Amino acid sequence: MSAPRRPPDKPLALEKLLALDDEARRAAFLSRNRSLLRSAVVTELTDRVREQVRVDVQQALRMADAALSIAHKLDDKPALARAMRAKANALYAKGEHASAVDLHEQAVALFDAAGDTHEAARTLSGSIQPMLLMGEYNRAFAAGERARKIFADEGNTWRLARLDINIGNIYYRQDRFGDALACYERAYQGLPAQQDPEGIAAVLSNIATCYISLHRFSMALDSYQKARQFCAEHGMTTLVTQADYNIAYLHYQRGEYSRAIEMLRATRLNAKRTGDAYHYALCNLDLAELYLELNLSSEAGELAQQGHEGFRKLGMGYESAKCLAFSAMAASQQGHGFEGLKLFSQAREMFLKEKNQVWPSLIDLYRALVFFNEGRLFEARRHCSEALESFCALNLASKAVLAQLLLTRIALRTDNADQAFEHVNAALLAVPELDSPVLTYQAHLLLGNVYSVRGDREQSYASYQNARDALEKLRGNLRGEELKIAFIKNRLEVYENLVELCLARPEDRAASEEAFTYIEQAKSRSLMDLFVSPAPALAENVPGQSELVSSIRNLREELNWYYNLIEREQLQPERHSQGRIATLQKQARQREKELVRVLQEATPTDATQAGLQMPSHLPMASIRATIPADTLLVEYFRVRDRILVCLLGPQTLEILPVTLETRVANVLRLLQFQLSKFHLNPQYLETFHDSLAQAAQAHLRELYSELIAPVAPQLKASHLVFVPHGLLHYVPFHALYDGSQHLIDRYTLSYSPSASIFALCQTRTTNSTGTSLILGIPDPQAPAILDEVQALNNVLDRSELFVGPDASEQILRSKGPTSRVIHIATHGRFRQDNPMFSAIRLGDSFLSLFDLYQLKLPVELITLSGCSTGLNVVAAGDELIGLARGLLHAGAQSLVLSLWDVHDKSTAEFMAVFYRLLQEGKTNAIALKQAMIELRSRYPHCYQWAPFVLVGKI
């Protein structure tokens, strides 16, 4: 006789029930498995729904449906109400808000019928969120009021606190941020006693969000930091990552890029480690946008692609499309136009699917830029015109002006001056309402270009002067799209045009001095605009800092904050609120006016402490007063393809044409090719040493012919200070050869970023006493560094030597400010794409230009004897950028840096001679000259004897 069939175990039966996907099959299964027909099983399932809804909404819905089937079979009204509430919560998580509200109301009715007011109130509280998302605010408030009365009668402070969170959400949705904040703060007071860690973390985050909307940054930051600390103490690692991200994003929105980068990188790594895919993708998105604004195109593209993949897997279309757009921008910045256009098209399709109204038009503008840069002007005009039409319809005035400016450039490129005039005038009509100095500058600049094409010099000059006036009001505050458009970032064009107009008036004796003033303004402008948008991390509020400094810092942070809020509001997936944007713009303008007022009261010291780069050009009389007798400044400047030279002495000024930039570029490229051969096999170098030296010598002679020979009779001085411009920063002037002598044989030489910087270095106060700080970081590629620093330790007075890991950033920060001389023997890491991220290697870290701007090093001499430590790049519309600038800003009076990767052994010998001569009382310039000549007798190739240059004081 066979044994009777046993019913399946309850856990197994329950799992089989959950696998059924329609009511009829579930009913039949329950008829066969009556052990499941119990109220306790409904409770178990509804509890599991609450947990599962955070992980898998579909599975949570199956659990809720199973609970409903059991409750219907039982005809148990309270159980049916609990099941309905569970399904409503799952439908809310799925985004089906109307269905969720309907089920919530049915559940409330059942609880009321059963006389269970507590559960009815819980359900009413839970129904608020889907109601507010449907815009049913009155129903949501009514549900909240009834729930509040019940919980208050019960004395249930925890439920009241939870209810306050939901009521606060209604107020926030209505932009009633003050009322929302009051609810959240009341909830925060009620939650801790109930030991609800997730609730506390959520309400702290909500409080911070309210402060952001109320534009109270410091309080928002404090709330996020409280949330982070709380989550860390309670082991909520995912919420710690969320808080870290929110804090980093706040710094980003305030324009504090260095802090934001550091925090976003750390948060990204933590999110990856903990498997938090959402915040990992968010960090990739924000870092990509930030790097785009800093011209770090390669990194931006890589991170944007990772963000795109992450958001795609998460099913987040808007964010995925945004990452793809950033990837397209990165490709375009790197000159990969075809790839950029393909990615832009894909991103545009995704935004259209997301029903986004702004981004497709913005992508049209970017596509127009790519076509413009590729010379495909018909397509550029078509896409730009479509973008302009959309921007006007959406009332996005600043973006419409950007489109008008690009259309002006397209018209000028196609020789259509009348059309260009029409577009630029449309832009000029709009800019007064925008309070945007950069757009005002661009509009007047292009109007000047139009008048120039028409041959109207007087009107052209007046327009350029208006552009220059607008530029002087611009203190590094590019934002949003302005940061990602190359021609907007070029702020030197107006000075080049003004110099050209001045030199077209040879009969005017004052024209040369006026032209020289513009040349210096151009260079000081770029020095001031070191960070094209973001300022260096602002100095902390410290005791003794003036109120004025604090005001400048706070106003700058607030302005960045408002600019980003406006940009974010305009690009929201849903249609943006014109009223909200207008309010933000009004608040931004109030702070702009206040910042202008405060800056008028600020001293240069105040401005520097506040993180501002003040203009650094000096009047000609002040510069001349610092030029020693028998010294001549040789300052080059490029105007379009022409290279000019200004010869400035204590009493004289001449501005002369020299050559064409293309001629110099060709020869310089050949010289750099010869220098690069020193990376080849040592056997090759030894075999062909003489022929290599002769080839380099030939190129040095050609450069002499182009740059020095035309003005050689005027170089009547014993010391020359070269002030290069553009690609001339790569020219080793001291090594140029006339056929019998190098320039260094005839003169002592030094370099300077500008004549004004030269003057400032001559008068700068530095440590006249103090130690000689020597840091050496040897590695397998440069083993002679150890010999170099040990030898210098024996030569220099009062020296302190730190080697390897001991040569740390902390040692530089602590001992550098009181040193007289600093020598760092290390490798430099030069970034061609964005030299702001160029760095020198220390024992425990890399010291970037960002870091140098935070150092105080008021020393007589800093020497960096390493690879490419003096190498600079000339970005579009910018001047010399490299480690030299950071060291000068840190307070150094003189620098010795290398123009190219140096030879390890010859460098050690050069430094030994140079410092010995300094100890004998020679000046920097004489010691450098004699060291070069001595080293040349041993190493005839310029690669080995001529890499080092003196910058700053002679």
Spatial distance between the Cα atoms of 410 and 213, rounded to a whole number of angstroms: 40
Give the span between the Cα atoms of 272 and 57, in whole angstroms. Answer: 24
Judge contact between 136 and 169, C-beta under 8 A.
no
Residue 367 lies in a domain: no
- CA-to-CA distance for 339 and 304, rounded, in angstroms? 14
Q: In terms of domains, do 800 and 716 share one?
A: no
**Measured CA distances, 107 to 47, 63, 110, 300, 821 (Å):** 16, 17, 5, 51, 79
Q: How far is CA 391 from CA 280, 398, 504, 570, 666, in A?
A: 33, 9, 41, 11, 44
In this structure, what token pair is assigned to residue 370?
């790519």
Helix (H) or strand (E) holding 849, with range, is: helix 849-852
| Cα separations in angstroms, 242 against 23, 55, 318, 481, 524 | 40, 17, 20, 27, 42
Strand partners for 829: 839
Average pLDDT over residues 758-767: 91
Mean pLDDT score of the chain = 83
Whether the pLDDT of residue 216 is over 90: the answer is: no
Residue 808 — very low, low, confident or very high, per pLDDT cuts 50/70/90? Answer: very high
For residues 111 and 124, what is the distance between their CA atoms, to the nearest angstrom? 11
> CB of 778 within 8 A of CB of 788?
no
pLDDT in tens, 123-133: 999 999 889 87
Token pair recorded at residue 814: 């602590």
- In the structure encoding, which two tokens stand for residue 286, read together? 């924000």
Q: According to the model, what pLDDT value does residue 695 have?
A: 93
- Interval 362-419: pLDDT, tens: 999 999 999 999 999 999 999 999 999 999 998 888 899 999 999 999 999 999 999 9
* Residue 120 belongs to some domain of the structure: yes
Distance CA(731)–CA(9), nearest Å, equals: 85
Q: Is 872 helix (H, G, I), strand (E, B) or coil?
A: strand
Least confident interval from 62-76, 335-349, 753-767 = 62-76
**Would you state the structure tokens that stand for residue 739, as one six-digit string?**
């056929």
Indicate whether 585 and 661 sit together in one domain. Answer: no
What pLDDT sits at residue 876? 34
Q: How far apart are CA 261 and CA 248, in angstroms?
A: 8
On the question of pLDDT at 233 being above 70, the answer is yes
pLDDT of residue 75: 81
**Gap between the Cα atoms of 102 and 119, Å rounded:** 17
Please tell me whether residue 773 adopts helix, strand or coil conformation.
strand
| Whether 825 contacts 785, CB under 8 Å | yes
| Burial degree of 32 (CB within 10 A; 0-12, 13-18, 19+) | exposed
Which residue has tokens 């990739």? Answer: 284
Same domain for 770 and 720: no
pLDDT band of residue 324 (cuts 50, 70, 90) is very high
Q: Between these two residues, 597 and 753, which has the higher pLDDT value?
A: 753
- Confirm whether 734 is domain-assigned: yes
- pLDDT at position 115 is 92
pLDDT in the model for residue 570: 60
**pLDDT winner (highest mean) among 13-22, 229-238, 353-362, 676-685:** 353-362
pLDDT, position 61: 84
Instruction: Say if residues 116 and 124 touch (Cβ distance below 8 Å).
Output: no
Query: Structural domain of residue 878, as residue ranges?
Result: 764-952
Instruction: Give yes or no: residues 928 and 830 share one domain.
Output: yes
- Residue 786's contacts (CB-CB under 8 Å, 6 or more residues apart) are 776, 778, 803
Higher pLDDT, 254 or 933: 933
**DSSP designation for 4:** P
pLDDT of 529 above 80: no
Q: Looking at the structure, tell me whether residues 770 and 876 fall in a common domain.
A: yes
Whole-number Å distance between alpha carbons of 543 and 531: 27
Of residues 540, 530, 588, 597, the one with CA closest to residue 562 = 588
Please give the pLDDT value at position 120. 94
Which two three-digit tokens encode residue 954?
């002679």
Tokens of 179: 């009322």
**Reduced to 3 states, what is the DSSP secondary structure of residue 3?**
coil
Whether 702 and 835 map to the same domain: the answer is: no
Please state the pTM of the whole predicted model: 0.70
**Both structure tokens of 291:** 């790097």
**pLDDT for position 833:** 55
Q: Indicate the range of 57-66, 830-839, 861-870, 880-889 predicted with least confidence.
A: 830-839
How many whole angstroms separate alpha carbon 207 and alpha carbon 185?
7
* Residue 571: predicted pLDDT: 56
**Range of 89-93, 450-454, 568-572, 679-683 with top mean pLDDT:** 450-454
Domain closes at, from 559, 588, 609:
609
Task: Tell me what percent of the residues of the chain surpass a pLDDT of 90.
Answer: 46
DSSP assigned state of 201: H
| Exposed e or buried b per residue across 366-382, where buried means at least 16 C-beta atoms within 10 angstroms of its C-beta | bbbbbbbebebbeebbe
What is 19-64 written as a DSSP string? T--SHHHHHHHHHH-GGG-SHHHHHHHHHHHHHHTTT-HHHHHHHH
Mean pLDDT lowest among 159-168, 270-279, 537-546: 537-546
Fill in the DSSP letter of residue 940: -
710 and 839: one domain?
no
- The letter for the amino acid at 785 is I
Of the two residues 421 and 36, the one the predictor is more confident about is 421
Q: Are 169 and 125 in contact (CB under 8 A)?
A: no
Task: Name the band, by pLDDT with cuts 50, 70 and 90, for residue 58.
Answer: confident
Give me 523's structure tokens.
């260079």
Please write the tens of the pLDDT for every residue from 466-508: 999 888 766 444 444 444 455 555 678 899 999 999 998 877 7
- The whole-number pLDDT of residue 873 equals 40
Q: Give the mean model confidence (pLDDT) for residues 848-877.
A: 69
CATH code at position 917: 3.40.50.1460
Question: Phi and psi at residue 749, in whole multiples of 5°?
Answer: -135, 150
- Give yes or no for a contact between 650 and 629, defined as CB atoms under 8 angstroms apart: yes
Percent of the chain at pLDDT > 70 equals: 84
pLDDT of the residue at 840: 82
Asked if residue 326 belongs to a domain, the reply is no
Mark whether 556 and 588 lie in a shared domain.
yes
DSSP string covering 53-89? TTT-HHHHHHHHHHHHHHHHHHT-HHHHHHHHHHHHH
Does any domain span residue 149? yes
Interacting residues of 365 by C-beta distance below 8 A, sequence separation 6+: 383, 384, 387, 399, 402, 403, 406, 481
Domain count, the chain: 4
Question: 692-716, pLDDT tens digit by residue?
Answer: 989 999 999 999 999 999 999 999 9
The DSSP bridge partners found for residue 824 are 775, 864
Residue 190 reports pLDDT greater than 50: yes
Residue 184 backbone dihedrals phi, psi, to 5 degrees? -65, -40
CA dihedral 354, 360, 361, 364 (to 10 degrees): 180
User: For residue 561, what pLDDT is reported?
Assistant: 65
- CB atoms under 10 Å from CB of 638, counted, come to 20
**pLDDT top residue among 364 and 589:** 364
Q: How far, in Å, CA of 489 to CA of 438, rounded?
A: 9
β-bridge pairing 631-639 and 719-723: parallel
Average pLDDT over residues 203-216: 83
Residue 552 located in a structural domain: yes
| In the predicted structure, residue 518 carries a pLDDT above the cut 50 | yes
* Distance from C-alpha of 26 to C-alpha of 65, rounded to nearest angstrom: 9
Is 270 contained in some domain?
no
**Higher confidence at residue 679 or residue 99?**
99
Distance CA 130, CA 520 (A): 62
Q: Is the pLDDT of residue 920 over 50?
A: yes
Identify the domain boundary among 155, 186, 202: 155
Same-domain pairing of 937 and 840: yes
In order of 25, 45, 68, 106, 803, the CA distances from 40 in angstroms are 22, 9, 13, 21, 72
What pLDDT is recorded for position 27?
73
Alpha carbon distances (Å) from 530 to 49, 489, 861: 55, 12, 23
The CA distance from 218 to 251, in Å, is 10
Strand partners for 951? 751, 895
Beta-strand relationship, 642-648 and 653-660:
antiparallel
Give me the pLDDT at residue 796, please.
92
The CATH number for 130's domain is 1.25.40.10
List, in sequence order, every residue forming a beta bridge with 803; answer none if it has no partner. Answer: 776
Tokens of 525: 């402008």
Q: pLDDT grade, residue 626 (50/70/90)?
A: very high
| 564 plus 681 within the same structural domain | no
Residue 802 and residue 706 in one domain: no
Rg value, the chain, Cα: 34
According to the model, what pLDDT value does residue 535 have? 38
Within a domain: residue 516?
no
**Confidence at residue 539, expressed as pLDDT on a 0 to 100 scale:** 42
Residues 6+ apart with CB under 8 A from 510: none
Which of 752, 784, 805 is where one domain is finished? 752
Which residue in 468, 389, 377, 444 sits closest to 415, CA to CA?
A: 377
Residue with tokens 């606060």: 168
Q: Which residue has the tokens 């008008």?
A: 404
DSSP state string for 87-121: HHHHHHHHT-HHHHHHHHHHHHHHHHHHT-HHHHH
Walk across the sheet containing 839-841 and list its strands. 828-829, 839-841, 846-848
- Do 4 and 132 fall within a single domain? yes
List the helix and strand counts (H, then E) for the chain: 43, 16
What pLDDT score does 560 carry?
Answer: 63
